[in-house]
């Protein structure tokens, strides 16, 4: 079966956005706080999960993603002299994929992941304190250790988390991430017109925003918890992004389209290269390649511009690596 070039372009664009954001300290590329309106950076990983749903992975690949994620974080922990963090982006994708693609859970596809949202709520509300079930900042305490996600993660992983008290890629959020994948599967199978799909996506965003404002205690927008409101808003933005790229692809310069397709076809390898390159250039802190290059550029073009140029350079190197891997037929297979 031939690959969908639009899907590859969107996946390639999203992979490069992820590389840029993961390396950036620029304010406009920062993630939102624990609870609140999502930023540009918050939409990138959900879009990747949405796209992953369009290409269901076999069990061995899902398990492989978890193994690769753990390996990369072991390298990072060793290089930075820090405690190993067990949850992570690839681990989240692998686990969510195992849930979304499990043949015995066909009911999840039938209802576009709604049972996962119900289960997420059941665990969240029963596993948190009764006075502050989702640790929303409207309450006196915004202690992340009160959330069900932290309680589960600390029981399973101890302190091998992003911080000793919380990890945004914890186990509980894998349920709603799997729902993002199932929405992607459903979107792919739809025969509706582009305008109908656009209206559907806008409706999802509107419902997610309304829930955030009308039910702040039980439906806040939170990337850290991958709440149902966050699921709705980011799924809607992912759909709009896909439709926008689909409309623009015929007008993209061939060189740009070819580059994005290559990155999309090697998205996993690109993530690995991006992670290892980031570890390498940032190794040594202030004496590392990234810091020295940034200081040099600051004297020439200023602080803000130097940050942008350094991040674009790393992103460009990652894109070039994808082009090389495709030309040499290099890819991970299992």
Question: What's the CA dihedral at 175, 181, 183, 188 to 10 degrees?
Answer: -170
Q: Render pLDDT for 101-158 as a digit per residue (tens, 0 to 9).
A: 999 899 999 999 999 999 999 999 888 776 667 766 665 556 677 789 999 999 999 9
pLDDT band with cut points at 50, 70 and 90 for residue 1: very low
Quote the CA–CA distance of 112 and 54 in Å, as a whole number: 13
Q: List all residues 6 or more positions away from 260 whose beta carbon is below 8 Å from its beta carbon.
A: 8, 9, 12, 13, 16, 252
Measured at the CA of 217, the angle between CA 214 and CA 221, to 5 degrees, comes to 75
| pTM for this prediction | 0.94
Check pLDDT > 70 for residue 203. yes
Encoding tokens for residue 72? 């990369």
Q: Please, are residues 69 and 204 in contact by the beta-carbon 8 Å criterion? A: no
How do the domains of the chain map onto residue ranges? 1-12+258-334, 31-251
Q: Among candidates 140, 144, 146, which has minimal Cα distance to 162?
A: 144
Mean pLDDT of 81-88: 95
- Mean pLDDT, all residues of the chain: 92
The Cα 157–Cα 86 span in angstroms is: 7
* Cβ 99 vs Cβ 116: under 8 Å: yes
Average pLDDT over residues 230-238: 98
Phi and psi of 274, rounded to 5°?
-60, -45
């Amino acid at each position: 079966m031939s690959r969908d070039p639009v899907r590859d372009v969107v996946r390639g664009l999203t992979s490069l956005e992820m590389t840029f954001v993961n390396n950036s300290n620029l304010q406009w590329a920062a993630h939102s706080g624990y609870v609140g309106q999502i930023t540009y950076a918050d939409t990138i990983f959900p879009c990747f999960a949405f796209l992953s749903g369009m290409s269901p992975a076999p069990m061995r690949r899902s398990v492989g993603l978890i193994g690769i994620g753990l390996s990369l974080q072991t390298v990072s922990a060793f290089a930075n002299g820090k405690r190993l963090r067990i949850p992570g982006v690839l681990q989240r994708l692998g686990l969510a994929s195992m849930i979304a693609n499990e043949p015995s859970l066909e009911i999840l596809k039938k209802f576009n992941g709604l049972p996962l949202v119900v289960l997420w709520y059941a665990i969240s509300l029963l596993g948190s304190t009764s006075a502050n079930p989702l640790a929303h900042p409207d309450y006196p305490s915004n202690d992340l250790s009160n959330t069900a996600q932290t309680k589960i993660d600390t029981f399973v992983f101890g302190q091998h988390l992003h911080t000793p008290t919380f990890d945004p890629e914890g186990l509980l959020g894998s349920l709603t991430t799997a729902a993002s994948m199932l929405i992607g599967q459903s979107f792919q199978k739809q025969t509706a017109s582009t305008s109908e799909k656009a209206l559907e996506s806008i409706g999802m965003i509107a419902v997610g925003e309304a829930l955030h404002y009308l039910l702040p205690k039980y439906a806040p927008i939170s990337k850290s918890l991958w709440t149902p409101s966050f699921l709705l808003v980011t799924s809607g933005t992912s759909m709009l992004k896909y439709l926008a790229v689909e409309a623009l692809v015929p007008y993209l310069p061939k060189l740009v389209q070819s580059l994005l397709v290559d990155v999309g076809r090697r998205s996993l390898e690109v993530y690995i290269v991006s992670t290892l390159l980031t570890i390498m250039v940032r190794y040594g802190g202030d004496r590392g390649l990234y810091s020295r290059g940034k200081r040099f550029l600051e004297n020439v073009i200023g602080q803000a511009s130097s940050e942008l140029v350094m991040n674009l350079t790393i992103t460009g190197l990652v894109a070039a690596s994808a082009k090389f891997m495709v030309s040499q037929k290099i890819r991970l297979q299992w």
